[in-house]
């Protein structure tokens, strides 16, 4: 069971790393919202930006541009 969880975690981690390299910040943000609707209202902006690999200022600009 532990091996399964570890393997699943590694796969998710690799997908996230590829996303950071291959997609721009706006695409990553939109994908996150698609996978987790309203997450931006439940989690602090600094945590979201960290997860996306960008600064809180960049995230703020992306959100403003998308409105």
Which residue's structure tokens are 């600064």? 55
| pLDDT on residue 14 | 76
CA 42/CA 19 separation, integer angstroms: 23
CA dist 16 and 64 (Å) reads 24
Report the C-alpha gap between 38 and 33 in whole angstroms.
Answer: 7
pTM for the model stands at 0.71
Q: How many folded domains does the chain comprise?
A: 1
Q: What are phi and psi of 30, to 5 degrees?
A: -65, -40
Range of the domain at 17: 2-66
Q: What is the pLDDT of residue 63?
A: 96
pLDDT of residue 22: 75
Q: Give residue for tokens 């992306």.
A: 62
Residue 59 has pLDDT above 80, yes or no: yes
Q: Which residue has the tokens 């690799």?
A: 14
């Amino acid at each position: 069971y532990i091996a399964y969880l570890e393997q699943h975690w590694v796969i998710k981690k690799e997908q996230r790393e590829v996303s950071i390299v291959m997609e721009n910040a706006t695409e990553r943000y939109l994908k996150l919202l698609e996978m987790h609707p309203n997450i931006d209202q439940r989690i602090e902006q600094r945590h979201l930006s960290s997860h996306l690999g960008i600064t809180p200022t960049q995230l703020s600009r992306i959100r403003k541009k998308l409105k």
